[in-house]
């Protein structure tokens, strides 16, 4: 029977109500599960740093036969947030406001810096992050209310600042699409970052914003190797599909760029010039990059991933990261250093990026405009 449970921020069930989308929501259930799953990025659930109790499950050895691995179903929970625009004051982030339709991400990128945010919900940053997704069903209505407020100062919103707005469930829920329709109605500028070709579904909506210099789309590309992509970010679109998305946006006249992210020293860093060249051929107009970040629970997840898939390169990768963060630790959260690192290897990556970007014919990111913003009133909607 379809329908579901309302849950609070910790996944506790509340009163039932039907879903017009016919998406089944289930209550959170703890049960012993194997550690290795088909189609998942993480291979375990590290302890939540905010929880005193953690059940350490017996590990299951990974099988060489992909078909023999069990599947882990994705569960969805209603997020009952009352506000939708998030704000940050980070000096090394190019935006101040963002909208995140989902918490958690089924794409399953093992390196995702957002994984520790799931710990605030009482979940693990591991398998929980990619299999227990909080859905903000009311995001479009909340967004319209906040943009209508006289307190809203027109500025660029980013979809999304934390988890991917075009993860698989978006195909059914269309929350991101409806948020974009709200932004188009208000002509409020928006920047988009995604690893999923599904973003091309909304080209017609984004064209409306492009007419007012109010949109820029960024496609994130980590590797050109489909095999690496499948184990590194298992439920994202393959590289060729991302190039196709870039080409479609360029043809539609919508500003399109690429983020080479994350750059993993010893695993993907050598691919940067080829990635930029391929994206430039597809039509990308601007580019950026971010080096692998390992905050909190991401560190043990990536270390385990390296041991499982690249045991011969594990120490090289971690050694390079230490060299880029002062020599003793693999990550430094300090502003302006956390995304690029410092030292000889960081400088080498930065110089390589600049040379490859210029050779690919890419310029700087566009500056979006708020000039066409209009606060929609009931009278205006009648016109």
Q: What is the pLDDT of residues 262-273, one digit of tens each?
A: 999 999 999 999
Domain coordinates in residue numbering, the chain: 5-47+68-370
Contact between 84 and 146 (Cβ < 8 Å): yes
In this structure, how many other beta carbons lie within 10 angstroms of the beta carbon of residue 56? 9
At 171-188, the pLDDT tens digits run: 999 999 999 999 999 999
pLDDT confidence band for 36 (50 / 70 / 90): confident
Q: What CATH code would you report for 5-47+68-370? A: 3.80.30.30
pLDDT at residue 61, as a whole number: 57
How far is residue 276's CA from residue 356's CA, in Å, rounded to a whole number? 6
- List C-alpha distances in Å: 326 to 91, 296, 339: 21, 17, 14
> pLDDT at residue 62 above 80?
no
Query: Beta strands of the chain (E only): which ranges?
Result: 5-7, 13-16, 75-78, 85-87, 97-99, 102-103, 132-135, 157-159, 190-194, 215-221, 256-263, 286-291
**Dihedrals phi, psi of 299, to nearest 5 degrees:** -60, -55
pLDDT at residue 292, as a whole number: 98
Q: Averaged over 58-86, what is the pLDDT? A: 79
pLDDT at residue 38, as a whole number: 86
Share above pLDDT 90 across residues of the chain, in percent, rounded to a whole number: 79
pLDDT at residue 234, as a whole number: 96
pLDDT at residue 216, as a whole number: 98
> pLDDT at residue 10 above 80?
no
At 83-115, the pLDDT tens digits run: 999 999 999 888 999 999 999 999 999 999 999
The phi-psi region of residue 38 (left if phi > 0; otherwise alpha if psi is between -120 and 50; otherwise beta) is beta
Q: Averaged over 154-175, what is the pLDDT? A: 97
């Amino acid at each position: 029977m379809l329908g579901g449970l309302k849950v609070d921020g910790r996944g506790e069930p509340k009163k039932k109500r039907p879903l017009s989308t016919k998406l089944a929501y289930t209550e959170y259930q703890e049960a012993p599960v194997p550690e290795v799953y088909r189609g998942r990025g993480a291979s375990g659930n590290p302890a939540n740093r905010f929880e005193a109790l953690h059940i350490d499950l017996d590990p299951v050895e990974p099988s060489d036969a992909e078909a023999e691995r069990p599947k882990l179903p994705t569960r969805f929970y209603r997020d009952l947030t009352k506000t939708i625009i998030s704000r940050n004051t980070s000096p090394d982030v190019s935006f101040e406001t963002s909208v995140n339709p989902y918490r958690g991400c089924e794409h399953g990128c093992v390196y995702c810096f957002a994984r520790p945010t799931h710990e605030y919900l009482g979940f693990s940053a591991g398998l929980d992050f990619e299999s227990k997704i909080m859905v903000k069903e009311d995001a479009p209505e909340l967004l319209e209310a906040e943009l209508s407020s006289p307190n809203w100062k027109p500025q660029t919103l980013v979809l999304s600042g934390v988890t991917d707005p075009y993860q698989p469930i978006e195909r059914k829920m269309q929350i991101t699409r409806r948020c974009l329709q709200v932004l188009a109605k208000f002509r409020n500028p928006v920047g988009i970052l995604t690893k999923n070709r599904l973003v091309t579904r909304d080209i017609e909506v984004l064209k409306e914003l492009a007419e007012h210099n109010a949109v820029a789309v960024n496609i994130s590309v980590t590797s050109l190797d489909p095999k690496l992509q499948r184990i590194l970010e298992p439920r994202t679109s393959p590289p060729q599909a991302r190039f196709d998305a870039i080409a479609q946006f360029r043809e539609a006249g919508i500003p399109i760029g690429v983020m080479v992210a994350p750059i993993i020293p010893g695993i993907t860093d050598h691919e940067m010039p080829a990635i930029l060249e391929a994206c430039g051929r597809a039509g990308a107009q601007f580019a950026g990059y971010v080096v692998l970040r390992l905050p909190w629970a991401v560190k043990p997840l990536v270390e385990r991933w390296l041991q499982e898939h690249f045991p011969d390169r594990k120490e090289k990768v971690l050694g390079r990261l230490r060299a880029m963060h002062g020599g003793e630790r693999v990550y430094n959260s300090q502003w302006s250093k956390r995304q690029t690192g410092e030292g000889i290897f960081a400088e080498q990556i930065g110089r390589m990026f600049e040379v490859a970007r210029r050779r690919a014919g890419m310029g700087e990111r566009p500056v979006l405009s708020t000039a066409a913003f209009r606060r929609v009133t009931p009278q205006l909607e009648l016109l």
